[in-house]
Structure formats: C-alpha cells, structure tokens
A and B are shown apart, each in its own frame.
Chain A
Amino acid sequence: MSDLPLLSIVIFLPIAGIPVILGLKSDAAIKWATLAILTADFLLATSLVFAFDASTATMQFAESVVWIRALGISYAVGVDGISVLFVFLTSLLGWICVVASWTAIDTKIKTFMINLLVMQTFMLGVFCALDLFLFYVFWEAMLIPMYVIIGVWGGDNRVYAAFKFFLYTLAGSLLFLVGVVVLYFEGGRSFDILVLMERDFPFHIQAWVFLAFFVAFAVKVPMVPVHTWLPDAHVQAPTAGSIILAGVLLKMGAYGFLRFSLPMLPDAAQYFAPFVIALSAVAIVYGGFLALAQEDLKKLIAYSSVSHMGFVTLGLFTFKSNGLNGAVLQMFNHGITTGALFLFVGLIYERTHTRQIAEYGGLMKVVPVYTLFLGLFSLASMAVPGTNGFVGELLVLSGAFATGKATGAIAIVGAMLSAAYMLRLIRRVGLGPLIHDKTRSLWEINGREMSAALPLAIFVIWVGFYPAPFLDILGPSLDHLLGQVLGP
C-alpha cells in the first residue's frame, strides 16, 4: 500500500475545493466545479472500496497524527467494512445532490455549493473518525451546514424547521458529549475508539453512558417519540437537503449504535435491548400508519423513513447475525432508495410546485419514464422481491423472528403497511386520470436528471439480486462486532 493518505484525501477533498469555488464568477462554472470535485471524491471513494481487504475486521487505510497531546487527542481515521460502505454511499449521494440542485437552487448558488462541500467533508469525517473527540467535532460541525441549507434554501416555513432540527439534534449531542467525557475518564484518559472498545466498563457506567448515547442517537435515527423534527425538516429542506438528510444523516444514529453503544457498552446494550426493540417495533408500525395518512409526498416519504429506520434499529438489537447484516444492508438500501424517492419528488416539485398527492394522477400518460423510475423506487421502498429492500427486510425479519415471534409479527405489520402506502402513492400519482392542468404540460426527465437516477436504480436491482459483494464487505466486521457484544 502506498504512503498516500488516501482516506484523508477522500475526507478533505470537498473542503479543499472551496477556494476554487470562491474564485469562480459564473453560476454554471460553480456548478460544474462542485460537480467535478464531488465526482472526483466519489471516484476516490470507489477506489477505496476496491482496495479494501474484505477478509478482515481491522481498520484499514488508518492514519493517526497527534493533535492535542495534553488530552490524548489525535487525528485518527480508518475504515472497517461498515464504515467503508457508508463512505461510499455518502460520496455517491454527494454528487447526486449537485445534480439535483442544478436548476432547483437559483439563489446564492455559490454559498449553497460551498455548504454542500463542507457538509460532505464533515459527514465523511464522522464515518471515518477513530478518535472519539474527532468524531464529536465532525458530528457537531455537521449540524451547521445542514442548518444553513434548510434555513436559507428551504420552503416557506424553513426557519422553524431548521431551528427545530438544530435544537433536537443539539440536545441529543450534549448528552452524547457527557457520555464521551465519562468514557474518557473511565477508560483511562483515552479518546481512541479502538482502545475504548477493549475496555471493560463496569455495568453502572455502561448503563448511564448507554442511555446518554441512546438519546443522542435516537434523535438522529430518528426513533419514536423523538422523530417529530424529521417531517418538518424534510418538507422544508430543498431536494439536496432531503437527500442528504435521508441518505446520510439518518444513518448517523444507527452508525453510532454500531460504533459505540454495541461494542463499547455490550452489557448495557444487551440489558436495554428489549426496550430498544420495543421502541423500534412501535416506530415501524406507528411510522407506517402515519405515512399511510399523509397527503404530502415528502411527508409520506419522511414518515416511511421512520418506519424503515425502525427496521434498522430492530435488526441491530437482535444481536443475531442475520438481523445485524440485514440492518446494516438496510441502512445502505434506505440511503439509496429514499434518497432516490426524494430526488424524484424534487424533480416533479420543480415542475409543478406542488407536493399534494391529490393534485397528481395519470403521470404515466405524460411522463412515463419518470413514472417508471418512481415506481421502481417505490417498489424498492416497499421491499418487493428483486429489489434491494427485500433482501434487507428478509434478513432483519429472520433475525426478529429468532428473537421473538411477537417481535417478528409486529414487524410484519410494518412491512404490510409499507406496501399499502407505497402502492397508494404510485397508484394515485402515476395512474388514473390527469387531475391537474399543471400536470398536462409536464416534461420528461432530461439527461442530467437521468444521470442521477440511473446509478441509484442500478443499485436497487444490484443489491436486490446480488447482494453478496456488499455482505462480503460487511461480513468480517459484523462478525467481529457480534463477538464484541456477545463476548467470547
């Protein structure tokens, strides 16, 4: 392996590109430059995946530089099978966000693109950080560009939504900080994540830290009852904001469970597992019913996320190989599918300026290609066999049934609901008579929009039929994790 700090380059390339953007005058040049930077970052991340050795659970491409010696803080990054997958997902959605914002964002384009780039670096940093302090820095910093993206380029009620988003996640983060400090002192004054994983914390410490972490992560996931910021944020955010929120930010909470709660606090994780599973089951069913009742496209998808992320947390806390594999695969799938759904809602909103389901209908007649793509992603979201969602859902459910029949049965209700609201969506939007005049003069998706949709569609089918490469990358890391939780 070369000495090139590949991982750091992937993380900081977006931010390093900002001076270039600052120097540019024309809007078109700014867009192309941002696209070029994020595409380059995506290609680098892809090469990272190819260079990744999927046979071990050790951290790869690891770098470590002492940062604040007095506190034992260092700049340490590295990826295992879990994080490399999310680095890839983040970098993929990164350039797709630029494509999605090409015409949707028409004011302060330079600032917007800079925000996207900053956001990208912070998100990648979160997935790569191997130092708890560094992780916290990225985790908190991430809020700012997102706050700006929603608050400046959002809908009519953007300030309220941005503020709510900020408050919820900040409140969670403060508890997270408390937990971090406790771990630092109890763990022998170290912020090194790998070192902390090896420590055997006493149960009462584990329990309190688990609860503190739980609040922080549960807000991000989001789990019921702290999910209420999500619909507001999604509805108000511009398309790119929604894609990032659904595709990456929602994964952060579950990633937190995977990286900290499970391996560092295994006893507490097992102790609280029934509680988390119960909350997940509630989220699955409650989110599903809420989605069923929505008349706004974005809200429907937002609530479906609550339900889908319920499957993820359910799978994580089954502590079964199938459940865990399914949960992480489902995180990836959700990023692809829900990102794509928000992209497509954004595309149609750009054309009609309405998100009301009732105002659509018969789109198949005017924009068949658009409707077929929307249909594919809806089917993926409701986990039809042959799409990515089915593989993940099957694995999570088999883990759930192994944990308890009742858990499995409740999760099944959520699966059924997902079919109900997604079929309802695609039927009422795509089929039937043309209801609204605005929809008569719609135009089909163009090459630019297609270039964003096609890769996502490929992943839907690919994971649906041939998930082995993804599961192979995850396998050793998840086995290692399971060993950490359940003990030798």
Chain B
Amino acid sequence: MDIDYSLLPLLAIMIPLVAAGAILGLRRNAFLRDTISLAAAVTQFLVVISLAPTVLAGTTIEVTLFTILPGIDFAFRADALAMVFATIASLLWIAAAVYSVGYMRSLEEHAQTRFFVCFAISLSAAVGGAFAANLFTLVIFYEVLSLITYPLVYHHEDEESWHGSRRYMVYLMGASKTFLLAALAMTYQFAGTLDFKPGGLFNDTTLSDGLLIGIYFCYLAGFAKAAIMPFHAWLPAAMVAPTPVSALLHAVAVVKMGVFCVLRVIFDVMGPRLMHSLDLDIATAYLVSFTIVMASVYALTRDDLKARLAYSTVSQLSYIVLGAALLSPSGIVGGVAHIPAHALSKITLFFCAGSIYCASRRRKISDMAGIGRRLPWTMAAFFVGSLGMIGVPPSGGFISKWYLVLGAVEAQSIVFLVVLLVSAVLNAAYFLPVSYTAFFVREKDNQNMEVAADDIREIPLVTVPLVVTAVFSLAMGVYPDYFLALARGVVP
C-alpha cells in the first residue's frame, strides 16, 4: 500500500476550530457569524474531498505530529473508511449550517453563538476522529465530541433537557470510562501499541481466547455512541436538543463516530481473521440483529416524531455493524455504504421533523394529519427520506441494503437475511404511516394547537436544505460510485 504525506487532514480538522473562534469573535453580528459557519463547512468539505482522488487510487495519506508514548503517536491517516465518514460529515455540515440558521432564527432561540461554536467544534472532532491513525488519537476526538455536544443537548436549559443531558453524559462517559479505558489499557499492555494496523494488532501475541473476547466486548460496550443495545438509551434522551443537532450530530456525526470506531476495531484492531477464529463475527452479528429488530419495534410504538426517528437510528446503525461483522466482501461494502446512505436519508427526515416543528410547533405524529398540504416540500422530502430508510430503489438505502443482503447470502446465513427483510418491513410500518397521515388524513379542526392550520407555511431557509439532502439521498442511489469505490477499499 502506498503512503503519501500531507497536512491536509490536519487542515480539515483545524478549519472548524478557527471558525469557532471567529464565530465567538463576531457574536455581535448575527449575519457575519452565521456566514462563517457556512464558509467553514464549505471549506472543510473541499479540503476533505481534495483527498479523495489520492485515496481512491489506493494511497493512504498520513501525517504524524509527535510521539505521545512509546507505540502511540499523535497522528492522522486518511484511508477509505476515514474518507467515507469525513466526506459525509463535512458534506452534510453545509446543509446543516444553512438549516440551523433558519431553524434557530425562526424559533428565536437563545444562546445562538454558543450553539454555533459548539456545532463547529463538533465537526472538527468528527473529522478528527475520522482521520485518527490510532486509538489514542481517536479516543481524544471521541471524548471531545461527547463533551462539546453536551451544551447542545442541554441547549434549552429546562427540566427536560437537564435530565436528557444527564442521561446522555452518564451513558457516554460511563461506558467510555469503564469499558473503553479497560480495553485501551489492555490493548496497550498486551499489544504494545495503539496504532491501527490492517489485519489487527493481536496476531503476534499469545493471549488467551477469553482475554481477547473480553477486550473486544469492552470495545463494543465502550464505544456507546454506536448505540448497540443495551447501550442505546442515550440516543432517545439526546432528542431534547434542537433539531439541527439531532439531525447532523445525533443522526450523522456522533452516532457514525461510534459505528466508525467499532468498524476500526473490527478491521484494524482485532482483525478479521481473529474475529472469525474466535466466532466474534457471529456473536456481534446476533447482538446487532437483536438491536435492529428491537429498536424497530420500539420505533413503531413512538408517537413523538423525533423519538421514532431516534429509535430508527438505533436500528439502522446496527445495519452498518452487521455488514462489517458478516466479514464477507459484499457485507462490508454494504455496511460501509450504509454510513452515507443512512446519513443522507436520516438527516432529511430530521430536517423535516424540525421544519414541521418550526412551522407548526407540532411534534406528535398524530397531530400531523393533513399537514402535507400545508408543507408539501417538507412532507415530500420526508417521503423520499422514508424510501431511503426502507431501501426502495432508486434511493441510496437500496444500494447499501442490496449489498447487505448479498453479504448475508455470501455468508450463507438465513438468519441475517431474514433479519434484514423483516426489518425492512418494520421500517415501512413505522415510516409510511407518517406520510399517510400527512397527505391522506383529513386535517383536524383542533383549536388547541399552538399554531392554527391556516398559519402553517414553509420556511425557506429550513426547507431548501432538506430538499437538497432529499435529492442527494436519491442521487446516491443513482450514482453510488464514489461511496461504493471507497467501501470496496475497506474490504481487506
């Protein structure tokens, strides 16, 4: 494998940090402040995408800053998996930057500067995690992301967000301080390094099977951001945050960080060979299959739109891990491709939920009867997003699920095939009724609503980004080459 040295990954991480400083400095001028967010998002995306041709050509880009401890460097590396995560996070930040401005202004939210500062730093942490070359660097950004999203979850500063943010912190910090720390300490002691190595770190060691299995499950539990049951409860709790946060961070950056970490562990820490010989692949696949089905069942029972989307996220994240755990080429491609596919569809869905809330202050699905006529663009986009979740062609979700199903077939596993199909049906069962309610149920003449039905109308700054992401989610289905090529690069 060729290696190239470049400071560009570092630049992509620094841009949002600089932007955060500028946002803080320009807090008196709302227009300039919000423009900076957008400019930073565009610049970050351009820097990230400029790395793509090199990585697609099979070259890994590296930059090492200094040695932290023997066997641990503060270093960055852009490979195929990193590029998938970095591309999608920085691309969707552009949409979210515009959307946030519309959302925050239309609701006249308080502490907007704090919001945009934390938002920018979150993106720095997400891309930093994507480009991390070892567990130490990765974990630094992982924890920065936990901490910096805390003020965003706690944004409303009311009773509900006090409790939600507490649960958020207890789960994420508790899991990482308990399991992740143990896994790191054991890895450093027994493997002597924390650097990612394709094929794994433990191949030359003579550790007992039990210990290796213990280390692996410590990682799985420690990276609670992946929301594998029973470590998922922080995600619904995080829904108290303003919707742009739920959309970009708790559907894309934060949760994908968790899944990304799990994938790194499977491929570059444990290694596929070891995973297979210890039957960890099958164990993981069963564990996430349970999550896929159970979270979908939870989602069915939720009337609050954001809660339903949150449980859907829990379920969909496990698709990604399932694909990787199958360890078959198509399964891996499907799992990795599901990172952008899910991101594009889910951010659209969350944007829609926010748009509905901005326009009508409604959060419950049962209150949304007939709203499709008032918010045609939003609800049309919602329908497109739903198609992506269910996996209907020509959405991006179809591509990734197609590969996932192929992967299950390659792995000769009927069980996982059934899980994938059943969950597709469940997805349809909890997403399609929303569109049905919005378009086909007659508007109720309810006087108790905060905003009267006649006053509900689209808010341009909010609607445009969600239409764009909806189009993107279809575009990925029509033109999946970029992400598929990267996903193939992940296959060992």
Contact = CB atoms under 8 A, between A and B. Distances in A.
A431 interface: yes
A476 interface: no
B169 A412 contact: no
Given A385-B142, A391-B68, A471-B69, A415 B178 contact: yes
Interface stretch (B181-189, B246-254, B336-344, B417-425): B181-189
Contact of A385 (B140, B162, B190, B211): B140
A293 interface: no
A402 interface: yes
Given A394-B188, A402-B189, A423-B173, A386 B143 contact: yes
Given A385-B139, A386-B140, A391-B69, A399 B189 contact: yes
Given A385-B139, A385-B142, A397 B181 contact: yes
Given A385-B139, A419-B173, A394 B181 contact: yes
Interface string A388-430: 0001011101111110010011001101101110010001000
B174 interface: yes
Given A394-B185, A408-B185, A423-B169, A466 B142 contact: no
Task: Indicate the size class of the contact surface on chain B.
Answer: 20 to 34
Interface of B: 66-69, 74, 136, 139-140, 142-144, 147, 154, 157, 162, 166, 169-170, 173-174, 177-178, 181-182, 184-186, 188-190, 211, 214
A236 B189 CA distance: 41
A15 B380 CA distance: 80
B210 to A, nearest CB: 9
A468 B67 contact: yes
**SS class, residues of chain B in contact with chain A:** helix
Contacts of A254: none
B188 A322 contact: yes
Interface of A: 322, 379, 382-386, 391, 393-395, 397-402, 405, 408-409, 412-413, 415-416, 418-420, 423, 427, 431-432, 465-468, 471
A467 B136 CA distance: 13
Contacts of A432: 162
A416 B68 contact: no
Given A405-B211, A423-B169, A415 B140 contact: no
B177 A415 contact: yes
A408 B173 contact: no
Chief secondary structure at chain A's binding surface: helix
A24 to B, nearest CB: 44
A429 to B, nearest CB: 14
Nearest to A400: B185
Contacts of A465: 68, 74
Contact of B69 (A395, A397, A402, A408): A395
A164 to B, nearest CB: 33
Nearest to B210: A405
7 contacts: A379-B147, A393-B181, A394-B188, A408-B182, A427-B169, A432-B162, A466-B68
Contacts of B182: 397, 401, 408-409, 412
A440 B169 CA distance: 27
Which interface residue of A400, A413, A423 has the most chain B CB atoms within 10 A? A423
Nearest to A431: B154
Given A385-B139, A467-B69, A416 B185 contact: no
Given A385-B139, A398-B185, A408-B185, 15 more contacts: A397-B182, A397-B185, A401-B182, A405-B214, A409-B182, A416-B174, A416-B177, A419-B173, A419-B177, A427-B166, A466-B74, A467-B69, A468-B67, A468-B68, A468-B69
B68 A467 contact: yes
A65 B177 CA distance: 51
A385 B143 contact: yes
A432 to B, nearest CB: 7
Given A384-B147, A423-B169, A427-B166, A408 B178 contact: no
Contact of B66 (A395, A408, A466): A466
B143 A322 contact: no
User: Most chain-A CB neighbours within 10 Å: which of B169, B173, B174?
Assistant: B173
A468 B147 CA distance: 26
A399 B177 CA distance: 17
B331 to A, nearest CB: 31
Contacts of A408: 182, 185-186
Nearest to B178: A416
A229 B296 CA distance: 55
A108 to B, nearest CB: 43
Nearest to B158: A433
B66 to A, nearest CB: 6
B184 to A, nearest CB: 6
B68 A401 contact: no
Nearest to A475: B70
Nearest to B184: A394
A382 B174 CA distance: 11
Contacts of A395: 69
A271 to B, nearest CB: 24
Contacts of A427: 166, 169
A192 to B, nearest CB: 34
Contacts of B189: 322, 398-399, 401-402
Given A379-B147, A427-B166, A431-B154, A398 B178 contact: no
B72 to A, nearest CB: 9
A142 B264 CA distance: 52
A187 B398 CA distance: 80
Closest 3 pairs (CB-CB, A-B) = A397-B185, A398-B189, A419-B177
A471 B72 CA distance: 13
Given A385-B136, A394-B188, A402-B189, A412 B181 contact: yes
Nearest to B185: A397
Contact of A468 (B66, B177, B188): B66
A448 B14 CA distance: 31
A413 B181 CA distance: 11
Contacts of A399: 189
Contacts of A420: 174
Contacts of B143: 384-386
A398 to B, nearest CB: 4
A414 B166 CA distance: 20
A395 to B, nearest CB: 7
A413 B177 CA distance: 9
A13 B170 CA distance: 49
